[in-house]
Amino acid sequence: MGIFNRKSERTLDEEAKRQVFLEKKVKRNVYIFSISFVVMGLIMILFPQFTLETICYLFAAVLGILGIFNLIIYFTRDILKDVYRYDFVSGVMMILVAILFIWRSQLFINLIPIIMGVLVFGNGVTKLQRSIDLVRTGYNGWVFVLLFALMSMAVGVFIILQPDFIAQAVIVIIGISLVFGGVTDIITLILLGRQVKEIKKRLPIDVPGEYLPEDKIVDEDRPAEDKQYLTDDVISR
């Protein structure tokens, strides 16, 4: 039969409870984040236009707050110490851009895909030049490069002509990715929890020892006669 010190046993018990509490807290946080991802993903899939407008408004709010902050810094700082700072200019410009984002949100929503389309079209033109260079050098595989160039240019033109569709499509793709990530995280957590429970079931169960008064605890420094007496006393109990 094991003999344990009360204080050490209490410490181990508190440590075990603390470990269980931390495990539950981590699991709860993972569930919260995963469900949040699923909810945000569903909103993006079902309401892409609303999501785009919300992003514009949030960006405008951040710019407006930063602009006001810069104006406060300008009017509260000592003008003689920092003459060449442009807090006033940056603050006014940030507030102006924030107002434009709110007033013309759809314009900015379409502007990003248009810029992407121009970049894709430019990449296609670059490939077109490469194919012409291959023709001039006598390489027979220039046709494949030309096809890639025409495809890139066609995609770029399509993005430029359909910016609203592209913006919503990108939001939907991001939403699908969030839903997939959240659902797979939940499934992974459930499977992992089941596996951990199975492993714990196969582990040996700790049997707590009997608490004895201090005068009954065997001291290694005591004579052998005292040890034998205490041992016989424990067995008889």
Least confident of 16-25, 178-187, 217-226: 217-226
Pick the closest to residue 159 from 191, 120, 194 (CA basis). 120
- What is the model's pLDDT at position 75? 84
- What is the model's pLDDT at position 235? 47
Burial 30-51 (b: 16+ CB within 10 A, else e): eeeebeebbebbebbbeebeeb
| CA distance between the termini of the chain | 11
Residues 182 and 34: beta-carbon distance below 8 Å: yes
CA-CA distance, 141 to 203, in Å (whole number)? 65
**pLDDT at 225 exceeding the cut of 70:** no
**pLDDT at 82 exceeding the cut of 80:** no
Least confident of 31-40, 71-80, 139-148, 227-236: 227-236
46 or 195, which is more confident: 46
Distances (CA, A) of 15 to 12, 29, 87, 164: 5, 21, 53, 57
CA 150 to centroid of chain Cα atoms: 38
**pLDDT at 135 exceeding the cut of 90:** no
Tell me the mean pLDDT in the region 102-118: 86
Of all residues in the chain, what percent carry a pLDDT higher than 70?
Answer: 73
| pTM across the whole model | 0.64
The C-alpha angle 114, 119, 125, rounded to 5 degrees, equals 125
CA-CA distance, 120 to 152, in Å (whole number)? 6
Mean pLDDT of all residues belonging to the chain:
78
203 or 34, which is more confident: 34
